[in-house]
């Protein structure tokens, strides 16, 4: 989806490709960086794209299914990690600070009493979802509220790209169900160890997710999938991705959970995919099936399985360099460099 803010009437995709090919390098020799430059230029409708400001929004919520023992970590870790994000002590903070990316934290529905902190953006849909193994994770009105919260998060025209991270004990289970019901992928391919389940824990998680799948058989709409199995952080992320695409921003998609949110956003609005850069292959087992189903190939493969937007952050410098290639590199003509003999 293209930016609606500027007049780019003279822009064409063939001009963009010509600009990339005319830079002082053998054609194609910057590989995926050239593809990324093309994507960024196409979204911004310019041969001199801007890629200077990026923001990470970490969205946290709890999952009722965690009470069925689908995670190696206890549910209170979600709230503890929210405080860690706010104190700047998490991996995402350390990466974001290093890379010059602003971080904000959204409480979408962490279990227990609401966390009080002046920097926390409160968009609580509830104190965690219901246990989707037994009943719908949320109501239709909660889903709509979450989508709207996501669409209406404060944003700035100065942002060129947005990263989304998540925190929520149990949310690989929610993402697995979204991948299963929305993309038609088998649970056995998607289910993984999350934060570090052992073999017995993985078998329990797998059995539970099959039970949850059978609770609502048949083909479901994206609305239904999110209502039945979504997390509040995932649905807010879907809304925020849709708004970012409408606003013409690049969306840097993190790992397994964020890719499930991206799949839902694409189901609502197929054109939003043109704004998405898939950052990395997660080490969470099911992620490669999700990206295959979406027909995308992530940039990095570093064995990350943390979430929080950490993988998206590590891809941000690649977007910056791709834009710099277009804006700052000389052409064969301008630099007086000979082409192939």
Instruction: Yes or no: say if 123 and 149 are a contact pair by the CB < 8 Å rule.
Output: yes
Rank residues 102 and 152 by Cβ distance to its own copies and give the closer one. Answer: 102
In whole angstroms, the minimum distance from the beta carbon of 116 to its own copies comes to 16
Residues that bind its own copies (CB under 8 A): 23-33, 71-74, 76-77, 80-81, 83-84, 87-91, 93-95, 97-99, 195-196, 283, 299-306, 310, 313-314, 317-318, 320-321, 324-325, 327-330, 334-341
Minimum distance from residue 325 beta carbon to its own copies (Å): 6
| Residue 188, number of CB atoms within 10 A of its CB | 12
**Integer Cα distance of 92 and 96 in angstroms:** 6
Give the nearer residue to its own copies in terms of CB position, either 26 or 270. Answer: 26
Q: In whole angstroms, how close is the CB of 42 to its own copies at the nearest point?
A: 19
Which residues have a Cβ under 8 Å from the Cβ of 88 and sit 6 or more positions away? 97
- The values of phi and psi at residue 196, to 5°, are 135, 45
Q: Is 284 a catalytic residue?
A: no
**Angle ∠(302,183,129) on CA atoms, nearest 5:** 85
CB of 51 to its own copies, least distance (A): 9
Element (H, E) at 122: strand 120-122
Asked if residues 101 and 316 have their Cβ atoms less than 8 Å apart, the reply is yes
Q: Which is nearer to its own copies, 219 or 341 (CB)?
A: 341
Query: 139 vs 301, which CB is nearer to its own copies?
Result: 301
Q: Which of 45, 228, 233, 308 is catalytic?
A: 308
DSSP class per residue in 241-273: HHHHHHTT-EEEE-SHHHHHHHHHHHHH-GGGG
Closer CB to its own copies, residue 146 or residue 260? 260
- 28 φ/ψ sector (left φ>0, alpha ψ -120 to 50, else beta): left
CB of 33 to its own copies, least distance (A): 6
Q: Are 168 and 258 in contact (CB under 8 A)?
A: no
Q: Which residues are catalytic?
A: 308
């Amino acid at each position: 989806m293209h930016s609606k803010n500027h007049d780019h009437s003279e822009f064409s995709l063939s001009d963009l490709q010509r600009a990339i090919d005319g830079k002082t390098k053998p054609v194609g020799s910057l590989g995926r960086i050239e593809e990324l430059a093309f994507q960024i230029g196409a979204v911004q409708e310019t041969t001199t794209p801007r890629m200077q400001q990026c923001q990470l929004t970490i969205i946290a919520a709890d999952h009722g299914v965690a009470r069925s023992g689908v995670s190696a970590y206890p549910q209170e870790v979600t709230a503890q990690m929210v405080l860690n994000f706010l104190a700047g002590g998490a991996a995402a903070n350390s990466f974001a600070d290093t890379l010059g990316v602003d971080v904000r934290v959204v409480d979408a529905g962490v279990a227990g009493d609401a966390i009080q902190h002046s920097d926390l953006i409160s968009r609580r849909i509830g104190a965690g979802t219901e246990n989707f193994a037994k009943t719908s994770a949320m109501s239709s009105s909660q889903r709509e509220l979450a989508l709207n919260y996501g669409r209406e998060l404060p944003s700035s025209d100065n942002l060129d790209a947005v990263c989304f991270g998540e925190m929520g004990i149990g949310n690989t289970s929610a993402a697995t169900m979204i991948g299963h019901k929305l993309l038609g992928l088998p649970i056995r391919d998607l289910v993984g160890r999350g934060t570090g389940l052992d073999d017995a824990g993985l078998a329990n998680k797998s059995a539970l997710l099959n039970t949850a799948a059978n609770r609502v058989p048949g083909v479901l709409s994206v609305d239904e999938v999110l209502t039945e199995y979504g997390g509040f952080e995932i649905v807010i992320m879907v809304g925020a991705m849709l708004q970012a695409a409408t606003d013409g921003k690049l969306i840097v998609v993190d790992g397994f959970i964020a890719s499930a949110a991206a799949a839902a956003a694409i189901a609502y609005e197929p054109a939003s995919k043109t704004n998405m850069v898939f950052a990395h292959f997660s080490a969470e087992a099911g992620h490669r099936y999700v990206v295959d189903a979406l027909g995308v190939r992530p940039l990095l493969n570093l064995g990350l399985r943390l979430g929080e937007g950490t993988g998206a952050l590590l891809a941000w410098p690649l977007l910056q360099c791709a834009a710099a290639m277009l804006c700052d590199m000389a052409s064969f003509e301008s630099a007086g460099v000979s082409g192939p003999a």
